[in-house]
Amino acid sequence: MSQLLRTVLIVCLVMLTTPAWAHAPIMGIRGVLGGLLHALLIPEHGASLVALGLVLGRQQQLARRSGLLIFAAALVCGLVAAGLAVEAKLAPDILLVATGILGLLIAAGWGPPVLGWPLAAIAGLAFALDSTPETTSTDETIRMLIGSGLGAIVALALVAEGAGVLRGNGQPIVARVLGSWIAATAILVLALRIATRMATG
Amino acid sequence: MLRRYFLSLVLMLSASPALAHSEAGVAIDFMGGFLHPIFGPDHVIAMVAVGLWGAFLGVPAIWLLPVVFPLVMAVAGAFGVLGVPLPGVEIGIAVSAIILGSMVALAAKPPLWIAAVLVGAFAIFHGHAHGAELPVGADAVAFSMGFVVATGMLHVSGIAFGTLSRWPAGRIAVRVAGGVIALIGLAYLVRAI
């Protein structure tokens, strides 16, 4: 093999290499921590928690905590269903619609408990059903679902209580802008999903 | 002969996809969505003008206009994604820069609802144009988030510059910026016609 050929071969092989990640952002991490990260790092999940937290954060303490409890109850029901392998193909879309409505409520500066509570229940259920991990082990699935539940409840409580504390310190304007961004994102994502389904049949 | 085959095979394996244009290669994730509105100068000037005008009008327009714009833009973008036609999009975008820039240059202070309706109406053209260009099958969530955040940041940059209007010299600078935006919009309008 000539020197030139060797050099070309080495250059080509070097160009073919890809970074050797220790693990993919989530795929490599399993167990409770993997589920917790799944709840926090999936963009639509994170957006739904922020949106619901901001809506609940506008409410009085009793109504806010009632909303948190409703979300937690619906989430647990959904996680049990997900653990029993109940299939819910529409869960991501329902979660997205709920997130969009929550975003609109934030942008409008209006989120009474009569709207916030049902949306908390829908978001909790859809969130859980959309959190089914892709594992074959039952133990692993349960551990990841527990992690997802814990992550979602803790994150929601932090956002809702934080928004409640910051209420009146310029937070409403920031929240309204954030709400409009969340709603706009949800609308665009839904449109892209519908268009993709139409294109792929 | 064997060497040639081997070399050809290695070179073939090294080949990357021949994308139609460079942006398509990145337009599938957050950064692709983030860069999408920034690559269109006609969009950029109009969105900055929204922020400038909001800052010029003061509270509550300073936050109301940047809230109205992305919401209407997203709805129009959805129609664009779904292939619903809208005539005169390019003209509408150019006119938006002219009108919004002129509003800033003339220091116009109409009632809040008129400002919101104007901004919302122009957001239809911008949203539809973006929506029609969005890549179907992209990582929809990350792309859309990047897209909306970039739009919002352009508004924020306009607001940041617009806050200079609190001072006399800054007020002149902001009005001049509005005039420049209107002139650039005029150039786009001439080209679109």
pLDDT of residue A118: 94
A149-161: pLDDT as tens digits: 999 999 999 999 9
Q: Is pLDDT at B140 greater than 80 in this prediction?
A: no
Whether residue B131 is predicted with pLDDT greater than 90 in this model: the reply is no
Q: How confident is the model at residue B72 (pLDDT cuts 50, 70, 90)?
A: very high
CA distance, residue A167 to nearest chain B CA (Å): 17
Q: Least CB-CB distance to B13: which of A5, A16, A191?
A: A16
Whether residue B19 is predicted with pLDDT greater than 50 in this model: the reply is no
Question: Does B188 or B8 have the greater pLDDT score?
Answer: B188
pLDDT score at B111: 92
Residue A20: pLDDT band (50, 70, 90) is very low
Note the helical H segments in chain A: 3-16, 31-41, 43-57, 61-83, 91-108, 113-129, 138-166, 171-200
B127 pLDDT exceeds 50? yes
Instruction: Choose the weakest-confidence range: A133-137, A156-160, B5-9, B156-160.
Output: B5-9
Name the nearest CA neighbour of B147 among B59, B78, B84, B74.
Answer: B74
| Residue A153 CA: distances (Å) to CA of A34, A51, A141, B42, B159 | 15, 14, 18, 43, 36
Q: Where are the alpha helices (DSSP H) in B15-139?
A: 22-26, 30-38, 41-57, 61-81, 89-105, 112-133
> Residue A189 is nearest to which of B73, B131, B141, comparing CB atoms?
B141
User: What's the gap between Cα B105 and its chain centre?
Assistant: 20
The mean pLDDT of B134-138, rounded to a whole number, is 66
- Residue B43, CA atoms < 13 Å, CB-side half-sphere: 26
Q: How far apart are CA A152 and CA A53, in angstroms?
A: 11
Percent of chain B with pLDDT over 70: 83
Is B124 within 8 Å of chain A by CB?
Answer: no
Least Cα separation, residue B127 to chain A (angstroms): 10
Which one has a higher pLDDT value, A85 or A156? A156
What's the pLDDT tens digit per position in A51-83?
999 999 988 889 999 999 999 999 999 999 988
What pLDDT sits at residue A2?
A: 62
Q: What is the pLDDT of residue A125?
A: 94
Q: What is the pLDDT of residue A174?
A: 83
Tokens 């929809």 label which residue? B140
Tell me how far the alpha carbon of residue B70 is from its chain's centroid.
Answer: 10
- Banded model confidence at residue B3, pLDDT cuts 50, 70, 90: low
Q: Centre a 10 Å sphere on the Cβ of residue A124 and count the other Cβ atoms it contains.
A: 29
User: Is the model's pLDDT at A104 over the cut of 50?
Assistant: yes
The lowest-confidence range among A97-101, A102-106, B82-86 is B82-86
Question: How does residue B11 score in pLDDT terms, banded at 50, 70 and 90?
Answer: low
Nearest CA in chain B to A100: B71
- Identity at B144, one-letter amino acid code: S
- Give the Cβ contact number of residue A135 at 10 Å: 14
Mean pLDDT of the region A14-18: 52
The answer to whether the CB atoms of B74 and A196 lie below 8 A apart is no
Give the confidence band of A42 by pLDDT, cuts at 50, 70, 90. Answer: confident
* Residue A77 confidence (pLDDT): 94
Mean pLDDT score of chain B, rounded to an integer?
83
User: How far apart, in whole angstroms, are the C-alpha atoms of residue A61 and residue B184?
Assistant: 51
| Model pLDDT for residues B88-110, shown as the tens digit of each residue | 899 999 999 999 999 999 999 99
Q: Which residue has the higher pLDDT, B13 or B82?
A: B82
Contact present, B178 and B52 (Cβ < 8 Å) = yes
pLDDT at B181 over 80: yes
Residue A28 — very low, low, confident or very high, per pLDDT cuts 50/70/90?
low
- ipTM score assigned to the predicted complex: 0.77
Answer for the pair A126, A78: CB distance below 8 angstroms, yes or no: yes
pLDDT at position A102: 95
Is the per-residue pLDDT at A24 higher than 50? no
Contact A196 B136 (CB under 8 A): yes
Q: Which residues of A lie closer than 8 Å to B, measured between beta carbons?
A: 1-2, 5, 8-9, 12-13, 15-16, 43-44, 47, 104, 107, 173, 176-177, 179-181, 183-185, 187-196, 198-200
Query: Average pLDDT, whole number, for chain A?
Result: 83
A75: number of Cβ within 10 Å = 27
Residues of A in contact with B3 (CB under 8 A): 1-2, 5
To the nearest 5 percent, what fractions of chain B are helix, strand and coil?
80, 0, 20
